[in-house]
């Protein structure tokens, strides 16, 4: 298999590599879900193998748990950890205030629980995920299967009073069958195009019976690490109010990264 990485994969890799600098020996670390987070897990696994890094990881999905074990990271549950030093995860969108849309990978509930049980949340993303206003990416909400069509109707009615441009709601599918999360729930994707008041929408959506959680992460992310295809990395820290830039020389490795894809 060729080791040549696409620009988007290079961007994800350098963001993940930069984010490993936040990880210290002995930490309990939340491990996100999705293609960008998979790069992080691989990078941390390399540090465990080559540098003797000792961490305990709390995965946000069964997929991430399997990958973490495969690369030698000790995996524990959130109940065992109780509280985390750090969570590193990807995002489907982020705005200038580091508010996020997450859940494209179907793990938003565990991701939000883990992120809010951490001293710090670091998001890794390629530059295409940066937006002025959230909403171009469909907003996922996790709903219980019982009465999901009624829940969908209530969501559609609620959106009429919200500051959004679109109101189409679709059930996420896995082939010909509904998609199921790790908790056995469904996901409704809200095609809103633009979200005028994300905080208000998050609060209102979560009041609808049948809704478990939504994919808006408001005031949770502390730092976003943005990768570019040419190796540049931008780090935005919302608490410090700083923006720093650096660059990685990318050395591509067949054995470590060729098996990762979107």
Q: What is d(CA 223, CA 211) in angstroms, rounded to the nearest whole number?
A: 28
pLDDT of 4 over the 90 cut: no
pLDDT tens for each residue of 211-236? 999 999 999 999 999 999 999 999 99
Say whether pLDDT at 169 is over 60: yes
Q: Is 132 helix (H, G, I), strand (E, B) or coil?
A: coil
pLDDT single digits (tens) 54-76 = 999 999 999 999 999 999 999 99
- Give the span between the Cα atoms of 113 and 103, in whole angstroms: 13
For residues 250-262, one letter each, b for 16 or more C-beta atoms within 10 angstroms of the residue's C-beta and e for the rest, the string is beeeeebbeebee
Give φ, ψ of 236 to 5 degrees.
-110, 120
List domains and CATH numbers for the chain: 7-130+219-257 (3.40.50.1360), 139-214 (3.30.70.260)
Degrees to nearest 5, angle at CA 8 with 53 and 98: 70
Axis-axis angle for helices 7-19, 35-51 (nearest 10): 50
What is the reported pLDDT for 249? 78
Helix intervals (H) in 52-178: 62-70, 78-81, 108-116, 148-159
Q: Is the pLDDT of residue 2 over 60?
A: no
Which residue blocks in the chain are alpha helix, DSSP H?
7-19, 35-51, 62-70, 78-81, 108-116, 148-159, 198-205, 254-257
Cβ(141)–Cβ(205) under 8 Å?
yes
Q: Are strands 56-59 and 74-75 parallel, antiparallel or unpaired?
A: parallel
What pLDDT is stored for residue 248 in this prediction?
85
pLDDT at 130 over 90: yes
What pLDDT, on a 0 to 100 scale, did the predictor assign at position 255?
A: 45
- Quote the pTM value: 0.93
Annotated binding site: 33-36, 89-92, 102-105, 129
Q: Which residues are catalytic?
A: 111
- For residue 212, report the phi and psi dihedrals to the nearest 5 degrees: -90, -50
Instruction: Give me the mean pLDDT over the 128-152 stretch.
Output: 98
- Quickly list DSSP for 188-248: EEEE-S-BS-HHHHHHHHTTSTTEEEESEE-S---EEEEE-TTSEEEEEETTTTEEEEEE-
The tokens 């509930």 sit on which residue?
109
Q: Is the pLDDT at 240 greater than 50, yes or no?
A: yes
Q: What is the mean pLDDT of residues 143-158?
A: 98
* For residue 3, pLDDT beyond 80: no
- Which residue's structure tokens are 């109707």? 153
pLDDT at 253: 54
End-to-end CA distance of the chain: 16
Using the predicted structure, report yes or no on whether residue 108 has a pLDDT greater than 60.
yes
- 254: pLDDT strictly greater than 90: no
Two tokens, residue 18: 């930069």
As a whole-number percent, the residues of the chain with pLDDT over 90 amount to 92
Considering the chain, what is the average pLDDT of its residues? 94
Identify the pLDDT of residue 261: 41
- What is the bridge-based pairing of β-strands 168-171 and 100-101? unpaired
Known binding-site residues for substrate equal: 33-36, 89-92, 102-105, 129
């Amino acid at each position: 298999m060729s080791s040549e990485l696409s620009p988007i994969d290079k961007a994800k890799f350098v963001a993940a590599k930069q984010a490993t600098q936040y990880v210290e020996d002995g930490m309990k670390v939340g491990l996100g879900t999705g293609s960008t987070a998979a790069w992080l897990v691989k990078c941390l696994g390399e540090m465990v193998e080559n540098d003797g890094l000792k961490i305990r990881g709390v995965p946000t999905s069964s997929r991430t748990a399997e990958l973490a074990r495969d690369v030698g990271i000790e995996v524990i549950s959130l109940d065992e950890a109780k509280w985390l030093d750090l969570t590193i995860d990807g995002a489907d969108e982020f705005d200038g205030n580091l508010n996020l849309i997450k859940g494209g990978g179907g793990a938003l509930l565990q991701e939000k629980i883990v992120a809010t049980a951490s001293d710090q949340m670091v998001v890794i993303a390629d530059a295409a995920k940066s937006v002025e206003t959230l909403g171009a990416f469909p907003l996922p909400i996790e709903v219980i299967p019982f009465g999901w069509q009624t829940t969908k109707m209530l969501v559609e009615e609620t959106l009429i009073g919200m500051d959004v441009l679109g109101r189409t709601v679709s059930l996420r599918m896995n082939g010909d069958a509904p998609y199921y999360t790790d908790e056995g729930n469904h996901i409704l994707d809200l095609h809103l195009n633009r979200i005028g008041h994300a905080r208000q929408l998050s609060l209102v959506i979560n009041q609808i019976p049948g809704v478990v959680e939504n994919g808006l992460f408001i005031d949770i992310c502390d730092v976003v690490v943005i990768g570019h295809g040419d190796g540049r990395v931008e780090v935005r820290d919302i608490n410090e109010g700083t923006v720093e830039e650096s660059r990685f020389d990318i050395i591509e490795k067949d054995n470590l990264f060729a098996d990762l894809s979107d």
